[in-house]
């Protein structure tokens, strides 16, 4: 068989499978397009359900605001009637106040004192019996007896003095849901519908006046009642065959449907598949024609090149004559040289591939650890922030109780609670170790002194059969770290070493000053303090070593380890701008090296608190039940705190300390008070607050507008660092004595006028 024929057969052998692959690709694209469309419509349906839920929640928020009205707590119903009329979101909304039996006391659709309907028109009563009266309830659609329109009702309980006294309801016209359908920007062919629990239409994107208030088909009601979300095929009320995607509105248990005509669903995938099929046919035809033309041009030079290759294979000298085809000529002239180069190149290539794979695995492993710790840090950092606010409230309240209580038993219980708070604070600090840098907790410390402090904790965790050896340089460099996390990292490493030496051994700790020109990646050249912890334990296998820094990975039995020891030490090193390097070998022990950058400033020498800023020990309650006040506080303080519990507790403490306190619940509120009220002597603000102005932003604005007013910031956790000169940072939970001392000291700082 001639080469030309073989080449044509080869081309056909390639093109035929390609044609089959193209057909499979067209089929795959068709199904993928259908699945993609279903996924996107399902996501759009869930988003639509959340949009409806957000609308309901906004109305419920208005009712909760009304429920907190002072006039309602005082029983002043005429005044509350006027307030409710002003608070109604629009004229179509009706505010109704009922007693516990459902009797209407106020209805903003009627004048105050007019005769009101005697019974409920909605199914709120049934929902109360099913779900309880203490929840926010959303009724199904009903015909309003006064307005003669399709309405639904939102009800919230009104709690006064810890008991439910009334119910507040808002009657809302179902037509208010129609604008939501327009905001979804669904295609004109799609039909968006909102139905209540009974399957009655509340809103519809197409001909709502015809179908609002009517029930959907029984098959659709059955499918909606069976699950929270899904998809099924049915017919709409106007007889169109559709595929309906539905989802649940969380707060009302209503359903939203997005119905797409079956013809529309099939049209888009068919168009995409047809387009791909046409392109593939054109490409296949062009490939066949190009192969036929190239076959004729390539056969002669290729056959001649083949004969020369045979000669080269037989060891004969090749007398190659150019054929006019540049590529073939180049191959023929370099064939001998290529055979020699291929051998060397193959070896080099294999070596480079091995190196590239190893480097990629190292980078990927480091990236994976970083991503895991970052995700864990965001979670635990947020939890730590909320816990610190709660701990701050409890700590302040306990200190105030301690000021009032005279009984020894109460004082003992308070001390027990405060010890528990200290343990909770330490636990919250461990959670925060996986978050971002918390500048309020970082200090420049004497590394040697900090190590000696941590050794006390470590010795208590070790057994008697473990020898502890410590060796440090004469004057270890200072480092900027979070002291609690420094101690915790050493304690975690000591516990791991203890568990790795069940029959005893040696735990060695070294502290060295190193000037590194080529430090471990990714550290830059410079001065570092090396903290090395090594043991003579069992060591780790390679597969265990590869996962040792993964959060929650542990080889210990259930209940004996959390898998957070080494990850905490790794997070501590990373937050301190350093690096943790782990090395271990089975049977030879484990070594952990922590590189910490040398601090630019020296560690501060502990000093005593100035007499003016000292806070005396809590005094007993004064006769007659009045609180004894804390000494040391004077002047006017603007206190900015968004958490109501913290705000209330610290307010009492500051007032008892002698300060005049002006309260603000966020940064915007604080700026308004600065512009309209007498300027304070000092500002004490939380860092993390809702709104556009955080505590850091507020401190920056105050420094520029009111440079004479000092600022103290408090934080439980924040991802932003407060790098503002002269601004003090106080970590939550803080003792009231320390707060009073700091506020007094910043007022008495040099450069401030009396």
Q: What confidence tens digit (pLDDT) does each residue in 475-496 have?
A: 999 999 988 888 888 988 998 8
Mean pLDDT score of the chain: 80
Predicted confidence (pLDDT) at residue 251 exceeds the cutoff of 80:
yes
**Considering the domain 26-285, what is its CATH architecture?**
2-Layer Sandwich (3.30)
194 burial level (CB within 10 Å; 0-12, 13-18, 19+): buried
* Residue 589 pLDDT class (50, 70, 90 cuts): very high
Helix, coil or strand: residue 584: strand
Query: What six digits make up the tokens of 246?
Result: 């539905």
Predicted confidence (pLDDT) at residue 139 exceeds the cutoff of 80:
yes
Helix, coil or strand: residue 434: coil
Residue with tokens 């700091």: 742
Predicted confidence (pLDDT) at residue 343 exceeds the cutoff of 90:
no
Query: What six digits make up the tokens of 256?
Result: 């939203």
**Minimum mean pLDDT range among 173-177, 299-303, 358-362, 686-690:** 358-362
| pLDDT value, residue 122 | 87
Q: Tell me which of 419 and 678 has the higher pLDDT.
A: 678
**Secondary structure string (H, E, C) spanning 330-378:** HHHHHHHHHHHHHHHHHHHHHHHHHHHHHHHHHHHHHHHHHHHHHHHHH
φ/ψ (deg, to 5) at 683: -115, 130
State how far the Cα of 277 lies from the Cα of 21, in Å rounded to an integer: 11
Cβ pair 661, 654 in contact under 8 A? yes
State how far the Cα of 21 lies from the Cα of 24, in Å rounded to an integer: 5
| pLDDT value, residue 563 | 56
Average of pLDDT values for 288-303? 67
Q: Tell me which of 665 and 319 has the higher pLDDT.
A: 665
Cβ pair 167, 97 in contact under 8 A? yes
Query: What six digits make up the tokens of 31?
Result: 């199904």
Predicted confidence (pLDDT) at residue 615 exceeds the cutoff of 70:
no
Nearest in space to 663 (alpha carbons), one of 538, 646, 273: 646
Query: What six digits make up the tokens of 679?
Result: 């300027």
**Minimum mean pLDDT range among 88-102, 139-153, 287-301, 312-326:** 287-301
Predicted confidence (pLDDT) at residue 626 exceeds the cutoff of 50:
no
Predicted confidence (pLDDT) at residue 628 exceeds the cutoff of 50:
no
* Residue 682 pLDDT class (50, 70, 90 cuts): very high
| Comma-separated ranges of CATH 3.30.565.10 domains in the chain | 447-597
Cβ pair 242, 262 in contact under 8 A? yes
Q: pTM for the full model?
A: 0.38
**Out of 3.30.70.2190, 3.30.565.10, 3.20.20.70, 2.60.120.1360, which CATH number does the structure's domain 447-597 have?**
3.30.565.10
Residues whose CB falls within 8 Å of the CB of residue 693, separated by 6 or more in sequence, listed in order: 666, 667, 668, 670, 671, 701
State how far the Cα of 328 lies from the Cα of 333, in Å rounded to an integer: 9
* Residue 595 pLDDT class (50, 70, 90 cuts): very high
Q: Tell me which of 75 and 287 has the higher pLDDT.
A: 75
Distances (CA, A) of 408 to 153, 411, 413, 419: 55, 5, 9, 17
Q: What confidence tens digit (pLDDT) does each residue in 725-734 have?
A: 778 888 878 8
Query: What six digits make up the tokens of 77?
Result: 């119903």
| Comma-separated ranges of CATH 3.30.450.20 domains in the chain | 26-285
pLDDT over 70 percentage in the chain: 74
Q: What confidence tens digit (pLDDT) does each residue in 190-206 have?
A: 999 999 999 999 999 98
Query: What six digits make up the tokens of 209?
Result: 């006046």
Q: Tell me which of 627 and 131 has the higher pLDDT.
A: 131
Q: What confidence tens digit (pLDDT) does each residue in 706-748 have?
A: 998 999 998 876 555 556 777 888 887 888 888 888 888 888 7
Characterize 557-594 residue by residue with b for buried, 16 or more Cβ atoms within 10 angstroms of its Cβ, and e for exposed.
Answer: eeeebeebbbbbbbbbbbbbebbbebebeeeebbbbbb
Cβ pair 101, 176 in contact under 8 A? no
| pLDDT value, residue 416 | 67
Nearest in space to 389 (alpha carbons), one of 684, 640, 647: 647
What kind of fold does domain 611-747 have according to CATH? Rossmann fold (3.40.50)
Q: Tell me which of 351 and 591 has the higher pLDDT.
A: 591
| Comma-separated ranges of CATH 3.40.50.2300 domains in the chain | 611-747
State how far the Cα of 724 lies from the Cα of 722, in Å rounded to an integer: 6
């Amino acid at each position: 068989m001639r080469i030309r024929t073989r080449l044509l057969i080869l081309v056909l052998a390639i093109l035929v499978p390609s044609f089959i692959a193209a057909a499979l690709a067209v089929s795959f694209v068709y199904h993928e397009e259908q699945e993609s469309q279903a996924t996107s419509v399902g996501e759009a349906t869930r988003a639509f359900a959340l949009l409806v839920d957000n609308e309901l929640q906004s109305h419920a928020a208005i009712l909760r605001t009304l429920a907190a009205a002072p006039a309602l707590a005082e029983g002043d119903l005429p005044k509350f009637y006027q307030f409710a009329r002003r608070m109604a979101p629009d004229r179509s909304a009706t505010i109704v106040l009922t007693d516990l039996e459902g009797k209407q006391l106020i209805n903003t659709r009627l004048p105050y004192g007019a005769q009101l309907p005697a019974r409920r028109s909605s199914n709120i009563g049934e929902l109360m019996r099913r779900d309880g009266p203490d929840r926010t309830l959303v009724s199904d659609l009903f015909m309003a007896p006064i307005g003669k329109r399709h309405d639904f009702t939102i009800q919230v309980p009104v709690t006064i003095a810890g008991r439910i006294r009334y119910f507040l309801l808002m009657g809302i016209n179902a037509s208010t849901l129609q604008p939501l359908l327009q905001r979804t920007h669904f295609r004109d062919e799609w039909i968006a519908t909102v139905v209540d629990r009974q399957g009655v239409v509340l809103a519809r994107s197409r001909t709502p006046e015809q179908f609002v208030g009517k029930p959907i088909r029984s098959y659709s009601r059955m499918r909606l009642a069976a699950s929270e979300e899904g998809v099924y095929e049915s017919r709409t009320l106007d007889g169109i065959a559709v595929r309906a995607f539905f989802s649940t509105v969380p707060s009302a248990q209503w359903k939203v449907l997005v119905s797409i005509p079956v013809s529309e669903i099939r049209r888009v995938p068919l168009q995409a598949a047809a387009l791909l099929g046409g392109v593939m046919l054109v490409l296949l035809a062009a490939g066949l024609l190009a192969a036929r033309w190239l076959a004729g041009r390539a056969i002669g030079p290729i056959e001649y090149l083949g004969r020369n290759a045979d000669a080269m294979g037989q060891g004969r000298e090749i007398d190659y004559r150019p054929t006019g085809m540049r590529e073939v000529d180049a191959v023929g002239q370099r064939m001998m040289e290529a055979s020699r180069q291929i051998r060397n190149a193959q070896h080099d290539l294999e070596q480079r591939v091995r190196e590239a794979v190893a480097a990629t695995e190292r980078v990927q492993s480091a990236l994976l650890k970083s991503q895991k710790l970052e995700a864990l840090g965001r979670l635990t950092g947020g939890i730590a922030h909320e816990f610190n606010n709660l701990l701050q409230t409890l700590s302040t309240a306990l200190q105030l109780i301690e000021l009032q209580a005279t009984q020894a038993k109460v004082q003992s219980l308070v001390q027990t609670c405060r010890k528990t708070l200290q343990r909770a604070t330490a636990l919250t600090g461990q959670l925060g170790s996986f978050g971002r840098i918390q500048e309020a907790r970082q200090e420049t410390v004497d590394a040697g002194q900090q190590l000696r402090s941590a050794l006390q904790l470590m010795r208590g965790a070790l057994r008697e059969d473990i020898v502890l050896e410590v060796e440090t340089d004469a004057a270890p460099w200072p480092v900027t770290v979070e002291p609690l996390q420094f101690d915790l990292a050493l304690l975690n490493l000591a516990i791991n070493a203890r568990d790795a030496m069940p029959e005893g051994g040696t735990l060695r700790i070294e502290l060295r000053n190193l000037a590194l020109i080529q430090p471990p990646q990714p550290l830059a050249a410079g001065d570092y303090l090396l903290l090395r912890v090594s043991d003579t334990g069992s060591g780790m296998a390679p597969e265990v070593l590869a996962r040792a820094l993964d959060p929650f990975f542990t080889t210990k039995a259930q209940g004996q380890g959390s898998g957070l020891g080494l990850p905490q030490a790794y997070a501590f090193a990373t937050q301190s701008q350093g690096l943790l390097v782990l090395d271990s070998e089975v049977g030879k022990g484990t070594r952990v090296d922590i590189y910490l950058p040398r601090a630019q400033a020296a560690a501060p020498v502990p000093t005593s608190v100035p007499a003016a800023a000292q806070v005396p020990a809590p005094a007993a309650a004064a006769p007659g039940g009045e609180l004894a006040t804390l000494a040391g506080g004077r002047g006017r303080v603007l206190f900015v705190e968004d958490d109501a519990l913290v705000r209330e507790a610290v307010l009492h403490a500051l007032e008892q300390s002698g300060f005049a306190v002006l309260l603000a619940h966020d940064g915007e509120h604080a700026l308004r008070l600065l512009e309209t009220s007498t300027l304070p002597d000092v500002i004490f603000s939380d860092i993390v607050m809702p709104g556009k102005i955080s505590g850091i932003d507020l401190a920056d604005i105050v420094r520029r507008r009111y440079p004479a007013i000092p600022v103290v910031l408090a934080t439980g956790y924040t991802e932003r660092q407060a790098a503002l000169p002269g601004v003090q940072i106080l970590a939550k939970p803080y003792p009231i004595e320390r707060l009073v001392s700091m506020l007094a000291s910043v007022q008495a700082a040099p450069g401030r006028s009396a």
